[in-house]
């Protein structure tokens, strides 16, 4: 009986040793897979370009608030809301546009951050809606033959209320964290009008949120923002090393 009991004891010891080694290998593999927790939350800020422009440009007043919410690791819901009052003085006419606007859409972050970095290099889309008024302050009738002198300037003052415009924007920009939870960024925008309500005997040459119109329905824009990130929760994400390990398997 003693040789048999010793045989069973030896088998048990071997099995325990194998189980221990398997657990160590499993733990080593788990430890070798790098896990990363990333923050999700709301970022709120202001467009410094419009804000400072109101101080050095006498014919302009404007304010834009910006915000985005991190929906997935790469995608952000984004929005801007603002108000503008702009007087344009061209060679033939002088007019004032005043109104509010809102833009909503999304951004896609193409930048692969290092550990604990939250910078953004993005491309996105916006759909903008504006409600505004146009006041034709004065105009001058074009004279094709200036030999007989220029036409006098006509003071008008006609105001058209209830004007609207809708457009689509393609947005490219970046945001970088300069201090804890404080981000600065800028973006460039290409705009295309979808629809608009024009004033009588006039055109929408400047639309709040859209800026100056070119060729009737095309525009460009720019903003420079500072914003504060409000973290709401964290989520564990797969890092690049982890995805490589999966491919090797």
Residues 11 and 110 reside in one and the same domain: no
The pLDDT score that the predictor gives to residue 117 is 85
Q: How far apart are alpha carbons 141 and 232 in whole angstroms?
A: 59
Residues 181 and 59 reside in one and the same domain: yes
Q: How far apart are alpha carbons 59 and 55 in whole angstroms?
A: 10
The residue segments making up the domain with residue 105 are 40-238
Q: How far apart are alpha carbons 226 and 181 in whole angstroms?
A: 11
3-state secondary structure of 103: strand
Residues 72 and 144 reside in one and the same domain: yes
- For the segment 64-96, what is each residue's pLDDT rounded down to a tens digit? 999 999 999 899 999 999 999 999 988 778 999
Residue 143, pLDDT > 70, answer no
- 243, part of any domain: no
- 247, part of any domain: no
- For the segment 115-127, what is each residue's pLDDT rounded down to a tens digit? 778 999 999 999 9
Q: How far apart are alpha carbons 118 and 175 in whole angstroms?
A: 9
- For the segment 9-67, what is each residue's pLDDT rounded down to a tens digit? 555 554 445 445 545 444 444 445 566 788 999 999 999 999 999 899 999 999 999 99
Residues 123 and 101 reside in one and the same domain: yes
Q: What is the pTM of this model?
A: 0.78
Residues 23 and 56 reside in one and the same domain: no
Q: Where does residue 176 rank: exposed (0-12), middle (13-18), buried (19+ CB within 10 A)?
A: middle
Q: Report the mean per-residue pLDDT for the chain.
A: 83
What CATH number should be reported for the domain holding residue 212? 2.40.160.20
Higher pLDDT: 244 or 75? It is 75
């Amino acid at each position: 009986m003693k040789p048999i009991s010793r045989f069973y004891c030896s088998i048990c010891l071997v099995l325990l040793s194998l189980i221990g080694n398997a657990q160590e290998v499993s733990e080593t593999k788990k430890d070798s897979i790098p896990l990363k927790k990333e923050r999700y939350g709301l970022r709120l800020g202001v467009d410094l370009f419009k804000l400072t422009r109101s101080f050095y440009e006498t014919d302009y007043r404007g304010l834009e608030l910006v915000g985005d919410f991190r929906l997935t690791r790469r995608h952000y819901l984004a929005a801007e809301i603002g108000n503008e009052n702009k007087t344009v003085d061209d060679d033939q006419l002088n007019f004032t546009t005043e109104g509010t606007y809102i833009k909503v859409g999304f951004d896609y972050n193409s930048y692969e951050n290092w550990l604990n970095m939250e910078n953004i290099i993005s491309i996105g889309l916006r759909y903008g809606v504006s409600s505004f008024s146009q006041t034709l302050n004065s105009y001058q009738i074009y004279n094709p033959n200036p030999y007989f002198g220029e036409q006098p300037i006509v003071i008008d003052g006609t105001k058209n209320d209830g004007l609207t415009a809708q457009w689509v924007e393609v947005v490219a920009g970046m945001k970088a964290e300069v201090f804890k939870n404080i981000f600065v960024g800028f973006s460039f925008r290409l705009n295309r009008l979808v629809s608009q309500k024009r004033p009588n005997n006039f055109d929408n040459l400047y639309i709040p949120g859209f800026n100056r119109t070119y060729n009737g329905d095309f525009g460009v824009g720019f903003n420079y923002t500072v914003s504060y990130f409000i973290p709401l929760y964290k989520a564990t994400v797969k890092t690049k090393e982890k995805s490589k390990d999966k491919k090797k398997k």
